[in-house]
Structure formats: C-alpha cells, structure tokens
Amino acid sequence: MELINKLRQKAAVQKMEKFFPAIAFLGGFSWDSLTIGSKVYDSDLIFLSFYFLLALVSIYFIATRTSAEVSEAPFLQKFLSREWLPEWIDRLTWVVQFCYGNLYSALVICYFKSSGSIASFVIVLLLASLLVGNEFLKEKYEKFGVSLAFFCLLGTMFFNFLIPHLVHGMGTFWFFFSTLLSVGICYLLWLKSARSRRTMIAPVAISLALSIAYIANWIAPVPLVLKQQIVCKNFDRETYSCDADRLDFWQRSGFKTASIHKDEGEEIYFMSSVYAPAELKAPIEFRWYYMDPVAKKFVITDKITSQRMVIKGGRDHGYRSYSKKKNIPTGTYRVETAYKDGAVIGAEIFKVVEGMPKQGFVRDSLR
C-alpha cells in the first residue's frame, strides 16, 4: 500500500486520476455496447453478478461500526465488525462507484434494447442520467444512506433482468420477487449498520416507485429484445416471407412514414421477431391502433394473441410471430409487439394505401 500511496502523490499520477473516471466510463460503456448490447452470454451475467456482490460487500463494510461486544470475539467476527479507517472508507467507496458504474452501463443498454414505448424510455433516461452522475458521486457514497438507496434501485433493476435467465420465465410475480429481494438485502444491511430508521425511507420509496412504474407498464420487458418488424401482404407461413413496399430513402431513414399498398380484399400482415434467452417462455400480443382522422390520435382497435404466440427463446434472430387484418381501411396505423398485458417491446407506424406503390414491391422475410 505504501508504494501505491507514493505513486498517487506524484503530480503526473494525480493528473491521470482526474481523467480515470471518464476513461473508465467510456471504456466500460463501449465494451458493454459491443457485448451485452448484441446478445447476453452466461459470462456477462457472471460479471454483472460479481459487480453486484462486490458492491454489496463494500457497502457492508462501510456500514460497520465497532461494538464493545465484539472486542473479544474471534478474528473473523472482529474483522467483519470492525470500523474502517477513513483511507479504507475512501477505497471502499471507490469500489462502490466502480461497481455501480458497470451495473448502470449494462442496465442502460439492456433496458434500452427492450424499450418500445416513451414511458419505458423515460426509465432508461433515468438510468442513463445516473450512469453519468455516478462519476461525480464518489464522496456521496461515503454516506451509508446514499449508497443504500442507489443499491436498492440497482438491485431491483438487476434482479428483474437476471432472474428470467435463471428461472426461464418472467412476469409480475418475478418482478415483485426482484423488488422484495432487493429491499430485503437493503434491510439486512441497515440492521448491520445500526443507523436510524430514516435510512430505510429511500429504499422503500424507490421500491414503491418501481412497483407503480411496473404496474403502469413503464418498465421495459427485459430480457425480451425486438429484432425485426415487417408490414406486408401475400404471407408465406413456411418461410415467413411476404411482399412489402419497396421503401424510398426517407422511409428507410425513418423521416417518412412507411407504407403498404394493397388491393381491395387483400389481407395485411404484421410480422415481428423477438429475441429471448434460451428456454425462456413468454406470451406476447399484437396491439393494432388506428389514427382517428378527426381526433388526430391513435385509437386501439384490436389486441391479437393466441396459444401460438408464446416466445420460445434461444433463436439468435428471435422468435417469429405474426398477426393479420382483413378488409382493413386505408389510413395510418401503429402496431405494437408487447408482452401479453404488459410493456411494449417494439412498435411500427405505417400507412395502408390502395393501389400499387411507385417503386413496386419487394419480397422480404424475417430472418
């Protein structure tokens, strides 16, 4: 430790330390974007679990206070109950900051990938703001109550992502199990700290807020990720191929609403593929909205689901499903692919037009 302290006293090292949080932030976020952002592997879950446990242990030691009852206790008990010196508290809070940064980075990417509504994007923006703010909160983390509050938030969001991979299922029960598990761990840390009851106000409030957000379908349905969406006609069920409008540059870029042209009586199909971890099963539904030409707002017309619309995870390009509409009026539509009775995974806005497109059709398919 003396060698490290001597190095930290050098001017060049002190200058480098100022940039270290930014370098760690950019490096960690970039790495997570390239790995977790594309597909979640068992190694990713192991690393994230390690960061969570390391933060847990660090907060545990930050929470400890020396008690006369343990002065004559065995070495291990004395070690676990000792009150750490200020320089060690500084190192422990650095570990907490480091672990929180890695967890925030991964969760922002994972929840962003699963977000299909404005409300769920708000939650992602909250996580992103905390990810950036984490680089400036090291001194705040020395306060046990602050560390505990953020740990409760991260714990709930992390368990909500981790548990579906372990139990191969998701839904209301598992989200509230994640919430109770996180706040339960915080409660045990609070007992260890011997702080006042007010310390638990923030973790409980965060748990209640997240529960309300989940009930309102504001929490993205992780770990489901939308891979592809197609609106088309002349659907072939064996190949999941169909005829779609050949989109122009502005439509492909998203600056102009996509379209599908049809003749009278033709069926319109909406296909989507959703990625899920291996062995995970989750029911989905398609929600069709029509743009009311008078009110100028989308009105839901149908919720389409069936026994075949149950995601079976493991396929790299995602589980494929579809819904169809016959005798559909022309106009603007939005179709949402969503977890059944839950949050939206992805959505597409398009126009249904009579006749032939100027650039013709193209045969497209879900990979």
Residue 125 near residue 229 (C-beta atoms within 8 A): no
Q: Provide the pLDDT for residue 30.
A: 55
Residue ending a domain, among 215, 248, 264, is 215
Q: How far apart are CA 169 and CA 163, in angstroms?
A: 8
103, part of any domain? yes
The residue to which tokens 């032939």 are assigned: 356
- Does residue 162 surpass a pLDDT of 90? yes
For residues 250 and 301, state if they share a domain. yes
Residue 22 lies in a domain: yes
- CATH code where residue 288 lies: 2.60.40.10
Residue 283 lies in a domain: yes
The whole-number average pLDDT for the span 90-106 is: 90
If asked whether residues 178 and 257 sit together in one domain, one would say: no
Q: What is the pLDDT of residue 187?
A: 94
pLDDT of res. 28: 57
The 10s digit of each residue's pLDDT in 188-244 is 999 888 788 999 999 999 999 999 999 999 999 999 999 999 999 999 999 999 999
Residue type, 338: A
Amino acid 70: pLDDT = 41
Averaged over 118-138, what is the pLDDT? 89
Whether residues 207 and 148 share a domain: the answer is yes
Cis peptide before 223 (omega within 30 of 0): yes
The three state secondary structure string of 31-70 is HHHHCCCCCCCHHHHHHHHHHHHHHHHHHHHHHCCCCHHH
Cα separation, 242 vs 262, in Å, equals 13
In the numeric block, the tokens 């122009």 are attached to 248
The domain total for the chain is: 2
Give yes or no: residues 53 and 159 share one domain. yes
- The pLDDT value given to residue 43: 86
Q: What is the pLDDT of residue 323?
A: 94
Q: Are 228 and 318 in contact (CB under 8 A)?
A: yes
Domain final residue pick, 188, 215, 242? 215
Containing domain of residue 229, as a range?
A: 225-365
Q: Looking at the structure, do residues 63 and 150 belong to the same domain, yes or no?
A: yes
Alpha-carbon distance values, 152 to 8, 185, 285, 291 (Å): 33, 8, 32, 41
Domain boundary among 193, 215, 237: 215
Residues 10 and 149 in one domain: yes
Residue 123 reports pLDDT greater than 80: yes
- Is residue 220 one of the residues assigned to a domain? no
120 and 267 fall within a common domain: no
Q: Is residue 282 part of a domain?
A: yes
